[in-house]
Amino acid sequence: MKRIGILTSGGDAPGMNACIRAAVRAAIAQGLEIFGIRRGYAGLIHDEIELLNRRTVANIIHQGGTILGTARSSEFMTKQGRALAIENLDKREIEGLILIGGDGTFRGGTVLSQECGVSIIGVPGTIDNDVYGTDYTIGFDTAVNCALEAIDRIRDTALSHERLFFVEVMGHHTGFIALESGIAGGAEELLIPEAPLSVDELCSHLERNFNGEKRSAIVVVAETEQPGDSFRIARAVRDKLGFDSRVCILGHIQRGGSPTARDRVLAGKLGVAAVQMLAAGKSGYMVGEINWRIACTPLEYTWKKKKELNVELVEMRKLLCE
């Protein structure tokens, strides 16, 4: 293998740039040429591909987002779209691809690989941490710390006004961000899809809280299908208990910002591992980190298996969220 490509697809996540930088450095050290593909699969179809070198990835390690850009491409779902992508790979003799994203990114890449034989290695990059085969995804730690900072700030005003707050965090139908930021922020309750609470349960919990010594509370809510469900929950609590509350939806601020040290180190490790896998002739795997060690998982597991929340943390929340 002499030439490989790298792309970022799906939602951007802090640390993607650190991963691109690591992969470029590792590829050059292996004697490989590495091409950056802009806007994910859309750029592969529209031939937005350029050779990367150490200079083009200089001074990006601390930047959030992705210098390559990202997109969700419906064209790539079609055979005609992928045929154009294959032409662009063939004309540059690109034989391997590093795909940074989530399970949707890996699924698309697998179809492409089956159609043209290009080798593919996935790297988990999403703030949601909802990818099977890795303890943490690139971007998760930064997003959790962003949510935590917001929760800490909201606690100041919640305490001052003796108020109930609902803080809604992202997570793509999972509670990873809510669980970690909520526990770290000392939330009074967590609403996560993996361990649902009824409005009645939430209300009796809040009532206990406010009948005790507490005068304020923060409920961290994992975003559901549509962002903004917290408003419905807040209304239901007001109707039942008469509690006035405020809702704060953190939204896309969780996706931006400079990556934490933890995300940069993870991104570096996984970027290097991905290049090494391609250079060793491997394809169809995602490189992740399990118990601090590099772990390779067949790509199809990422969409066939569900990553579970840390059971101990879920249990612990009963003790810590009161």
The whole-angstrom separation of Cα 202 and Cα 188 is: 10
Rule CB under 6 A: is residue 105 a binding residue for ligand F6P?
Answer: no
Residue 54 and residue 48: Cα distance in Å, rounded?
Answer: 19
Using alpha carbons, select from 143, 169, 175, 110 the residue that is nearest to residue 306. Answer: 175
Q: For residues 38 and 255, which CB has a smaller minimum distance to ligand F6P in the complex?
A: 255
DSSP 53-120: -TTTTTT-TT--S-TT-----SGGGSHHHHHHHHHHHHHTT--EEEEEE-HHHHHHHHHHHHHH--EE
- Smallest gap from residue 125 Cβ to ligand F6P (A): 10
Please identify which residue in 43, 64, 108, 171 interacts with ligand F6P, judged by CB under 6 A: 171
Q: Using CB under 6 A, which of the segments 1-9, 37-45, 114-122, 164-172 binds ligand F6P?
A: 164-172
Distance of CA 215 to the CA centre of its chain: 34
Instruction: Considering the complex, state which of residue 170 and residue 206 has its C-beta at the smaller distance from ligand F6P.
Output: 170
Site string for ligand F6P, 9-38 (x = CB under 6 A): --x---------------------------
Nearer to ligand F6P, 35 or 166 (CB): 166
Provide the terminal-to-terminal Cα distance of the chain, rounded to the nearest Å.
56
135 is catalytic: no
CB of 149 to ligand F6P, least distance (A): 17
Q: Which is nearer to ligand F6P, 32 or 286 (CB)?
A: 286
Residue 172 interacts with ligand F6P (CB under 6 A)? yes
Going by C-beta distance under 8 Å and a sequence separation of 6 or more, which residues neighbour residue 167?
147, 150, 151, 154, 187, 218, 219, 220, 221, 230, 248, 250
Minimum gap (Å) between residue 114 Cβ and ligand F6P: 25
Q: Compare residues 127 and 192 and give the one whose CB is closer to ligand F6P.
A: 127
Q: Which x/- pattern, by CB under 6 A, does the window 197-226 give for ligand F6P? A: --------------------------x---
Q: How far apart are CB 132 and ligand F6P at their closest, in Å?
A: 15
Interface map 118-157 toward ligand F6P (x if CB under 6 A)? --------xxx-----------------------------
Residue 229 near residue 168 (C-beta atoms within 8 A): yes
Q: Where are the alpha helices (DSSP H) in the chain?
A: 16-29, 40-45, 79-91, 103-116, 140-161, 176-184, 199-211, 229-241, 261-279, 301-304, 311-320
Q: Judged by CB under 6 A, does residue 229 bind ligand F6P?
A: no
Residue 259 makes contact with ligand F6P by CB under 6 A = no
255 in contact with ligand F6P (CB under 6 A): yes
Report the nearest approach of ligand F6P to the CB of residue 267 (Å).
16
CA 218 to chain centre: 24
The active-site residue, picked from 103, 128, 130, 229, is: 128
Could you tell me the CA-to-CA distances from 73 to 46, 80, 84, 143, 184 in Å, in that order? 11, 13, 13, 24, 36
| Least gap, CB of 23 to ligand F6P (angstroms) | 21
Cβ contacts of 45 within 8 Å, gap of 6 or more: 73, 75, 76, 81, 82, 84, 85, 88
User: Where along the sequence are the contacts to ligand F6P (CB under 6 A)?
Assistant: 11, 126-128, 170-172, 223, 255
Positions marked active-site: 128
